Amino acid sequence: MADWLIAILMGIVEGLTEFIPVSSTGHLLLLGHFLGFESTGKTFEIVIQLGALLAIISLYFKKLWHLATRWPFDPEARRFIIGLLVAFAPAVVIGFAAYGFIKQVLFETPVVICVALIVGGFLLLWLDRMKKMPTYLDADKYPIRVYFLIGLFQCLAMIPGVSRSGATIAGGLLLGTDKRSAAEFSFFLALPTMGAAVFYDLFKNRANLNFDDMGLIVIGFISAFIAGLAVVKFLLDFVSRRGFAPFAWWRIVVGVAGLIGLALTGGF
């Protein structure tokens, strides 16, 4: 397959999977493994995530601008920003401490990704069917304790295949949030988490960065941005009507298919 087609495909996969609970990292790593694609220093895979991040900024620009300009005067805006920072804090501490193990061991083990996809799929099915009346319906007004615990759940996504959005949504549901607000909060939490992770990755790999394939990076970035816009626009209404079961079954199918593919190609 031509490199530019691979760049489009991987950009689309990144944008489609970043904000739904199926693990964008797991999909990209498995896709790159089976296509035999890996950029120097993983520059391509790192940078295209910013395309998905830009989709969130574009769609929520009005609210983000309000938070940025009104927090000194608006107690509700200030409280939500504090909640985001509290939820983000565990990822900073654990991500910094375990960075080497995550990148050198977990990210290089496709079997771990497949198993995490399958286990996470069954867990998401269970949560989706759980009969529990939600206590918190507005992501802006979660208790600080809930923000912090959701942040701890997010750290599970450092295992590739778990899914950052899946971990935060699952944590929210267990803590009493409704499906829509849990998904929306995962969007906002993606901004500091993904932003910090991408720039820390770039910093740690600065000696190996290679921007010779800038054309491919631009193609992947734009593809991820467009796909991310499409997903974020439909996701909240979709989960309100259908829940997370379709994503759970998708995880299970991809995980099983990945294990079969690894068995057939000697990837174990």
pLDDT band at 96 (very low <50, low <70, confident <90, very high): confident
pLDDT band at 194 (very low <50, low <70, confident <90, very high): confident
- Who contacts 57 (Cβ-Cβ below 8 Å, separation ≥6)? 64, 191
Q: Are 228 and 51 in contact (CB under 8 A)?
A: yes
- Alpha-carbon distance of 217 to 228, in angstroms, equals 16
Q: Return the half-sphere exposure (C-beta side, CA atoms, 13 A cut-off) of residue 34.
A: 19
- Which residue type occupies 117? L
- Of residues 218 and 208, more confidence is placed in 218
- Where is average pLDDT lowest: 42-46, 154-158, 216-220, 221-225? 42-46
- Alpha-carbon distance of 157 to 150, in angstroms, equals 12
b/e per residue, 231-261, with b = 16+ CB within 10 A? bbeebeebbeeebbeebbebbbebbeebbee
- Alpha-carbon distance of 68 to 134, in angstroms, equals 29
> Residue 104's pLDDT is what?
67
- Of residues 218 and 107, more confidence is placed in 218
pLDDT band at 41 (very low <50, low <70, confident <90, very high): low
> Residue 88's pLDDT is what?
96
Query: What is the average pLDDT across 113-128?
Result: 90
Helix (H) / strand (E) element for 173: namely: helix 164-174
Crossing angle of helices 3-17 and 214-242, in 10° steps, is 30
